[in-house]
Structure formats: C-alpha cells, structure tokens
Amino acid sequence: MLASVTRTRTPVDSTSLASVGYDPEEETLEIEFHSGGVYRYADVPQSVYQELLSARSHGSYFHENIRGAYDYRRVR
C-alpha cells in the first residue's frame, strides 16, 4: 500500500523533477517526477536536500548523488 503524500514540496525547474520536499526531523526527501510518481528517500542529510535545491541541474544532481544512494519507497 502506498503511503499518503503529505509533505510540502517546492517546485523546481527541471525536465525530470517536478518538485522536492524535505522533512528534517525524519531526514526524508520527497521527490515528485514529471511522470507523476512521488518517491520518499530515507536518511538523507539536510545538506543533500539543500545541494539539490541549489544545483545548476536538479535532475543531474539527483542521478549523481541520490539515486541508488538512499533507500526509497514510492508514495504515489
């Protein structure tokens, strides 16, 4: 069963990512893709979230630093 999507996400200018959000208490990063999928990544340091937001290419940063590096689950 998919978890509810409750986090507030910030829209980003990216061809693959639509929006990103972060919960500092749980250290979870939530990413919505333009394809419609929403994924929650566990144990992500806040510095990674901030680097993602400030990256020149959000999609490239995601592929190089997040994808495959953190456990995740689909929430939508």
Q: What is the mean pLDDT of residues 22-48?
A: 96
The pLDDT of residue 1? 45
**What token pair was written down for 1?**
């069963």
- Residue 75: pLDDT over 80: yes
**pLDDT tens-digit profile of 38-59?**
999 999 999 999 999 999 999 9
Strand residues in the chain grouped as ranges (E): 10-11, 17-23, 28-33, 38-41, 72-74
Domain boundaries, the chain: 10-74
Identify the helix (H) or strand (E) that includes residue 50.
helix 46-54
Contacts of residue 47, Cβ cutoff 8 Å, sequence gap at least 6: none
Q: What is the pTM of this model?
A: 0.89
- Residue 35: pLDDT over 70: yes
